[in-house]
Amino acid sequence: MFESILGRAYRLFISRRFAISLLIAVSFLLLMGILLPTLSYHEPSEMVSFSKEHPILFELGKVFNPPTLTTSWSFLFLTGLLMLSTVLCCFERIRNREYQDPYGKEPKFFRHKVEFSIASNAEDSMASSIATLRQYWWRLGKKRVRENGVFIEGRKGAFGFWGSIIFHLGFMIILVGVIMSSSTRFSGKFLVAEGQELPLLIENMTTVVREPAGGYELPGYPVYLESFKAEIVDERFPVEYRANLKVSEPSGIVTSKKILINEAIKINDIAILLENYGFAPHIMVKDPKGQTPLDAFINLRGRIAGSRDSFKVPKTKLSIDTIFFPNRKNKTSLVPQAPYYTITVKNKDKKVFQGDLHQGKSVKFDGYTMSFPETRYWAYFQVNRDLGIGVLFWGFMISFIGVVIRFVSHDRQVSIRLKSGASGTEVLVSGRSKYFPAIFKGELTKLAKSIEDEQTGGPLNWDNLKKYFSG
Amino acid sequence: MGQFEEIFFWIAVYLYALAFLLQLASLIFKKPSWAPIGWYAALGAFGFHTATIAARWIATGHPPVVQRYENNLAGTWFVMLMIIVVSRWFKKVKIFALFVIPVILIMLGQAFMAQPELKPLAPNFQSWWLWIHVTFAWFAYSSFAVAGGLGIVYLLKSRVKNVNVKPWNYFPEIDLLDDLILRFVLFGFVAQTMMLISGSIWANNLWGSYWSWDPLETWSLVTWLTYGIILHFRLTMGWKGKRIAWLAIGAIITEIITFYGIGIIVTVHTPLLQ
């Protein structure tokens, strides 16, 4: 009873129809998900109005949007079944390889043949047929001598079968990599200004994007932002951002590493990426008593003219709204040159100042003095640790190799029968192809023509003239 | 748009239009001798199309892979390249220029309307993986588009009783069409596999995440899976002829949404294509 159920299940899983049905089901679910609004890519206000106008679609969107769907148990179960089915199908295909053999009586194969006679004897014809097959990169099979003639066989594309297997193997490795990646991945973001040092610890992350289920501790060694540079062309187009991080590694080695956008640095098993940057003005505020409640670099948002942000001055009731202008002379320029802020200062919600605060200058309001001696850059970094990424990329490589092999290599076989006749040799070139009958027909006809030309001298062309004159 | 670029662009557009008119006239007025002239005009247009791309590349200092203008310019070039390369072996494929050129003209028109500004590449696009990603994307989508076009001709030709009369004898034989559909779908699938891989590697370098279920990423995956299903039907289930032709045509929808759906939703790919 149990064996019968197991046998049925096995037969189900090795059925290609079942595997394709699972693939269709996975694709259909993803299609459903993408046709519905993806919540994370819409403004909250849009989603609120959408949920009121289309409550059913909104609820379906919550369930089927790809990030939620692909982490749901039902989808993972379906993907698991697809993996199992793919593995078993591949296993069965390798096991039953002989039934795929184009030499066998596979009814799906297309067959074609060309017959002609040539004046030379069978021995010469055989030599030239072998030479022609080699010329067209056919792998020669065994020569068979039968009552009805001599048979020479050639084959191409036998490795295409393995291309398919390699591709599916790569696909499985990718899925394993995805599982490893999602179970070990840590991703966090931290912000550091020029001249600032920060130990790489989870508590110093501004955002923890992802943490593995079992938890993870960052190494804790300090990183120090030595400098940051934004290269701007024509004052409008940024072409390179470069941060120099000094990293004190656990081994005691202190190294200065350059990070560019698209070029992360790697320290042991973690990668640090440059993500964003902005300006950090050094702001000093002196209160009427002569004390300094604020003397710090404030990491303000924005790097283009007109960027707005705000901050509060500790131990006071002052709140300051800022509008940033990186270049005093050219308001549209991105190149920082004599930057300034247009500030609006409120003391207990009462506006006490509005005006420009230039670098190196100070302004006075309500007994306070606010100065802006210098500007530095801040940079935003991402720190990642992912143990599955290597496996994933190996899977990518293997699956790509497999699919390329599948593309360039497709099964076809030719057989040349040579039989002595009254006026020379009768040649029968026959062959079969599994996937491309019309293209194969042309290939076979060309091959037959080449064999014929090889014997008869062929058309008048340079190669034949060279052969003639060289004897 | 640079001065040379604009000159080459308009010459290419006018030559494409001439090629289309000549090929269409050869079919309508049953004048086969006009078709080769149309084909040479298409080749000339392709030459100036290439020159436009080269002029743009020199002026901006990077391959044309960002903004709607550059993508349409490069994408249409790849579609025409496909037709030219395949016609090297299968002469009758040249007639497909008749169907492809109107699409090229519409896309070039749309590109020009996008007001192409010459600007250097932003730091996040300065990666070799981007060139690989976009090049393979164009190979994939142009192959799938050609496969869909072949599917349409297959279905039309399969309805005709006598395929040896004009204009049907201008098109490849029906068996060859079936083979070519599979060939293009396979090639497109190979290219799209590389597109997904390179995009994933680039995303990991740029954003620290190889996959983020961005709507365009998901559409690309759905397109890839759709063509994967078609290949399974054809290669393992033995589906041929009309069924595969219909599937090749239907699957183009996923491709169109992947490319043009970008304008509807803001995604991580938006700066690349707007």
Mean pLDDT to the nearest integer, B244-257: 88
Mean pLDDT to the nearest integer, A335-359: 88
3-state DSSP helix/strand/coil % of chain B, to nearest 5: 80, 0, 20
Three-state DSSP class for residue B210: coil
B residues 46-65 lying closer than 8 A (beta carbon) to A: none
Q: Is the pLDDT of residue A103 over 50?
A: no
Q: Please report the pLDDT score of residue A52 as a whole number.
A: 84
A residues 72-101 lying closer than 8 A (beta carbon) to B: none
CA A251 to chain CA centroid, Å, is 33
Mean pLDDT to the nearest integer, A299-316: 86
Q: Please report the pLDDT score of residue B87 as a whole number.
A: 85
* Position with higher pLDDT, A470 vs A334: A334
Q: Please report the pLDDT score of residue A101 as a whole number.
A: 45
| Residue B148: closest CA among B185, B173, B118 | B185
What secondary structure does DSSP assign to A185-220, as a single string?
Answer: -EEEEEEEETT-EEE--GGG-SEEEE--TT------
Mean pLDDT to the nearest integer, A234-240: 84
Residue B67, C-beta contacts closer than 8 angstroms, at least 6 positions apart = B114, B116, B117, B272, B273, B274
Q: Please report the pLDDT score of residue A410 as a whole number.
A: 85
Q: Is the pLDDT of residue B257 over 60?
A: yes
Q: Over the stretch B206-219, which tens digit does the pLDDT of each residue have? A: 888 888 888 888 88
Contact assessment for residue A85 and residue A19, using Cβ atoms and an 8 Å cutoff: yes
The reply to whether residue B213 touches residue A16, judged by beta carbons under 8 angstroms, is no
For residue A238, the chain B residue with the least C-alpha distance is B122
Mean pLDDT to the nearest integer, B45-54: 95
For residue B187, the chain A residue with the least C-alpha distance is A407
Q: Please report the pLDDT score of residue B11 as a whole number.
A: 95
Q: Are strands A362-365 and A307-312 parallel, antiparallel or unpaired?
A: unpaired
The reply to whether residue A17 touches residue B237, judged by beta carbons under 8 angstroms, is yes
Mean pLDDT to the nearest integer, A350-379: 90
B residues 138-157 lying closer than 8 A (beta carbon) to A: none
Report the share of chain A in percent with pLDDT over 90.
Answer: 23
- The nearest CA of chain B is from the CA of A322 a distance in Å of 27
d(CA A167, CA A406) in angstroms, rounded, equals: 8
Q: Which amino acid is at B186?
A: L
Q: Is the pLDDT of residue A456 over 60?
A: no
Rg value, chain B, Cα: 19
Q: Please report the pLDDT score of residue A328 as a whole number.
A: 82
d(CA A207, CA A184) in angstroms, rounded, equals: 18
Q: Please report the pLDDT score of residue B44 as a whole number.
A: 95
Q: Over the stretch A410-435, which tens digit does the pLDDT of each residue have? A: 888 888 888 887 778 888 888 888 88
Q: With bands split at pLDDT 50, 70 and 90, how would you rate the model's confidence at A459?
A: very low
Report the share of chain B in percent with pLDDT over 90.
Answer: 34
Is residue A400 within 8 angstroms of chain B, CB to CB? yes
Mean pLDDT to the nearest integer, A45-72: 82
For residue B126, the chain A residue with the least C-alpha distance is A262
Q: Please report the pLDDT score of residue B42 as a whole number.
A: 93
Q: With bands split at pLDDT 50, 70 and 90, how would you rate the model's confidence at A88?
A: very high
d(CA A72, CA A91) in angstroms, rounded, equals: 29
Q: Please report the pLDDT score of residue B273 as a whole number.
A: 43
Contact assessment for residue A344 and residue A331, using Cβ atoms and an 8 Å cutoff: no
Q: Over the stretch A166-200, which tens digit does the pLDDT of each residue have? A: 999 999 999 899 888 888 889 999 999 999 899 98
Residue B122, C-beta contacts closer than 8 angstroms, at least 6 positions apart = A237, A238, A239, B66, B271
* Position with higher pLDDT, A465 vs A454: A454
Contact assessment for residue A272 and residue A383, using Cβ atoms and an 8 Å cutoff: yes
Q: Over the stretch B144-161, which tens digit does the pLDDT of each residue have? A: 988 998 898 899 888 887
| Residue A58: closest CA among A46, A73, A76, A71 | A46
Backbone angles phi and psi of A386, in degrees to 5: -145, 110
* Beta-sheet strands, E only, within B81-193: none
Mean pLDDT to the nearest integer, B132-139: 90
Q: Is the pLDDT of residue A267 over 90?
A: no
The reply to whether residue B225 touches residue A26, judged by beta carbons under 8 angstroms, is yes
Q: Over the stretch A12-25, which tens digit does the pLDDT of each residue have? A: 999 888 999 999 99
Which residues of chain B have a CB within 8 Å of the CB of A239?
120-123, 126
Q: With bands split at pLDDT 50, 70 and 90, how would you rate the model's confidence at B250?
A: very high
Q: Please report the pLDDT score of residue A321 as a whole number.
A: 92
Q: Over the stretch A158-168, which tens digit does the pLDDT of each residue have? A: 888 899 999 99
| Residue A163: closest CA among A93, A106, A103 | A93
Q: Please report the pLDDT score of residue A469 as a whole number.
A: 47
Q: With bands split at pLDDT 50, 70 and 90, how would you rate the model's confidence at A399?
A: very high
A·B CB contacts under 8 A = 132
Mean pLDDT to the nearest integer, A60-65: 81
The reply to whether residue A38 touches residue B215, judged by beta carbons under 8 angstroms, is yes
Q: Please report the pLDDT score of residue A468 as a whole number.
A: 45
d(CA A400, CA A20) in angstroms, rounded, equals: 20
Q: Please report the pLDDT score of residue A333 as a whole number.
A: 82
Q: Please report the pLDDT score of residue A48 as a whole number.
A: 81
Q: With bands split at pLDDT 50, 70 and 90, how would you rate the model's confidence at B266?
A: very low
Residue A150, C-beta contacts closer than 8 angstroms, at least 6 positions apart = A122, A126, A143, A144, A417, A418, A419
CA distances from B73 to B45, B46, B91, B105 (A): 13, 11, 26, 10
Is residue B201 within 8 angstroms of chain A, CB to CB? yes
Q: Is the pLDDT of residue B41 over 80?
A: yes
What secondary structure does DSSP assign to B126-148, as a single string?
Answer: --HHHHHHHHHHHHHHHHHHHHH
Is residue A382 within 8 angstroms of chain B, CB to CB? yes
Q: Over the stretch B66-124, which tens digit does the pLDDT of each residue have? A: 778 888 898 899 889 988 988 887 777 787 788 889 989 998 898 888 767 777 888 88
Mean pLDDT to the nearest integer, A399-418: 90
Q: Please report the pLDDT score of residue B197 as a whole number.
A: 93
**A23: which 2 tokens?**
């693939």
Bridge partners of residue A208, in order along the sequence? A188
Among A99-108, A137-146, B91-100, the range scoring the smallest mean pLDDT is A99-108
Q: Which amino acid is at B44?
A: G
Is residue A338 within 8 angstroms of chain B, CB to CB? no
**Least CB–CB distance from A34: residue in B121, B176, B219:** B219
d(CA B45, CA B13) in angstroms, rounded, equals: 7
The reply to whether residue B218 touches residue A384, judged by beta carbons under 8 angstroms, is no
Which residues of chain B have a CB within 8 Å of the CB of A205?
none
Let me know if A454 is exposed, middle or buried by CB neighbors in 10 A (0-12, 13-18, 19+). Answer: buried
Q: Please report the pLDDT score of residue A396 as a whole number.
A: 92
Give the mutation candidate from B163, B173, B174, B222 for the A interface (greatest A CB count, under 10 A).
B222
Q: Is the pLDDT of residue A128 over 70?
A: yes
Is residue A35 within 8 angstroms of chain B, CB to CB? no
Mean pLDDT of chain A, nearest integer: 84
Q: What is the ipTM of this complex?
A: 0.82
Q: Please report the pLDDT score of residue A470 as a whole number.
A: 52
The reply to whether residue B197 touches residue A24, judged by beta carbons under 8 angstroms, is no
